Structure 1
Amino acid sequence: MPPHSSSAAADPGDGGERESPPVRQALSDSVYERIKAMVMDHEIAPGARVGIEALARALKVSPTPVREALARLESDGLVVKRALSGYRATELLTRQGLEELFEMRLLLEPRAAALAAVNATEAQLDGIERILEEMQAQPSPDARYASYRDFAALDQRFHEAIGQAAHRPLLTDAVQRLHAHLHIFRLSNVVGAGGPTVAEHERIVRAVLRGHSERAAEAMTEHLTRSLERQLEDGGEEPPTP
């Protein structure tokens, strides 16, 4: 018969081991959000080296959750890992880069909106409306990442939901990838423009709900065009040459 201590260690009633992963995940998520805010707010400057040990000391955590956070930020496109030199914050997109990004979005997203107007399921239409309602309930964001984070997340969900409702998997994937690149510019097209963004989204939703594909495409085109104008007005200057 195995010793009693082994049986106790394997006792399913002992919740200590089961509680550890959620606690660790919560810490990892918290560190990720804190470092992401530092990058988005330029507390970690574009192109600057990101030291794991220094960040761990500043955040009063071990290096492990910092490494995990930086791996996630690398997949977000906000940091890059280079051999022998570690992590660095990515450089900002240039004005030309931003314009090219929106040029691609203008080619794809109006088409996605037009297809969504004729292909969306009832469940998808309900989901798009719910996202819009959540955006309408959000306070107007300011230029700090902590303020606009939730609004920007809803904005991304909105565009991805339109893409998914088009029922074109390749188009949906392209829309998601292009929208994710906005992080690299360190700006959000909703900063200081919560009201206009919501109003533009409302016009898109009305057209999609009514099945008007041409109007949906036009509304999306207008939204993206104005979004680019806001981005360029707020910070579209060429970054300094490194």
Structure 2
Amino acid sequence: MKLYIKSYKIISMDTKKDNKQQIAYDFIRRGIIDGTFSPGQRLVIDQLAKELSTSPIPVREAIHRLEAEGLVNIRPYSGAVVLSMNEDEYKEILSTLAVLDGYAASLSFPLMEESHITALREINERMKQSLEQFDFFSFVSLNREFHSLSSKCCENQYLVSQVELLWEKLDTIRRISLKYFSFRAHDVIEEHEKIIKLIEGRSPKEEVEDYIRKHHMKALPKEH
């Protein structure tokens, strides 16, 4: 009985620790995504711990997770700093996303139902509206929602998780600077219509994958 109680206490303490780390992770990550924590800003562990009413340990562990995701850089003598992205990093992330998202969507499309197609049309319509209202942040969010739904039925969950990670990084960059906002927003909406038609027509996987890859690659900054 004593061993059982001891084991139960250890499990309870570990669970509580994990929950605090998750709360800290969600809080900091959301702050980076929505711009509360700007690029180059130092993340002060003690200050964050105080704000979250926790010890520094869960905050430190959360920051290490964010570093692994490429959202934070831990520098010697400076501590954790919100990562600043440059154009080369943007190109690398977008190029990788183009390949993986195209593949994920090609695996997803054969399993999609009419309700998915209807939802894609609704999202694309909302993208048109956000563009008319010059609501660029909504446009970026809806664009990601469109592509996330496109690969929703993909059964390769590891692939989907990697695609989502790349979307997080890409969206962070686009929120950091409007220079990374798509200069071809109207074309994006038209190409989304083409993607929807490819789903409805049950097009070959290879055609779907190729089209979505090219769709993403067109957003790369033009060489001067």
TM norm. shorter chain > 0.5: yes
Q: Which of 183, 186, 196 matches 1:195? A: 186
Equivalent residues of 1:204, 1:220 under 8 A apart: yes
Taking a change above 3 Å as real, the CA distance of residues 153 and 78 of structure 1, as seen in their structure-2 partners, is same
% identical aligned pairs: 20
Taking a change above 3 Å as real, the CA distance of residues 169 and 33 of structure 1, as seen in their structure-2 partners, is closer
Within 2, Cα distance between the matches of 1:165 and 1:221?
18
Within 2, Cα distance between the matches of 1:141 and 1:223?
24
Q: Which of 157, 173, 196 matches 2:161? A: 173
Aligned to 1:154: 142
Aligned to 1:108: 100
Aligned positions of 1:14-93 closer than 5 A: 36-37=34-35, 44=38, 46-49=39-42, 64=51, 75=66, 78-80=71-73, 85=78, 87-93=80-86
Q: Which of 110, 128, 151 matches 1:136? A: 128
Aligned AA for 1:161? L
Equivalent residues of 2:32, 2:82 under 8 A apart: no
Aligned AA for 2:152? Q
Aligned AA for 2:40? G
Equivalent residues of 1:203, 1:219 under 8 A apart: no
Structure 1 unpaired stretches of 5+: 1-27, 57-62, 238-242
Taking a change above 3 Å as real, the CA distance of residues 34 and 80 of structure 1, as seen in their structure-2 partners, is closer
Aligned to 1:212: 203
Structure 1 length normalisation: TM-score? Answer: 0.58
Structure 2 unpaired stretches of 5+: 1-25, 55-61
Equivalent residues of 1:163, 1:171 under 8 A apart: no
The CA deviation at 1:35 is 8.7
Aligned to 1:7: none
The CA deviation at 1:182 is 0.8
Aligned AA for 1:90? L
Task: String of CA shifts for 1:176-232, please: whole Å, max 9, x gaps.
Answer: 11111114433576444321221121111111122113442232122111112xxx2
- Quote the RMSD (CA, aligned, Å): 4.0
SS at 1:37 equivalent:
coil
Structure 2 length normalisation: TM-score? Answer: 0.62
SS at 2:81 equivalent:
strand
Within 2, Cα distance between the matches of 1:94 and 1:84?
27
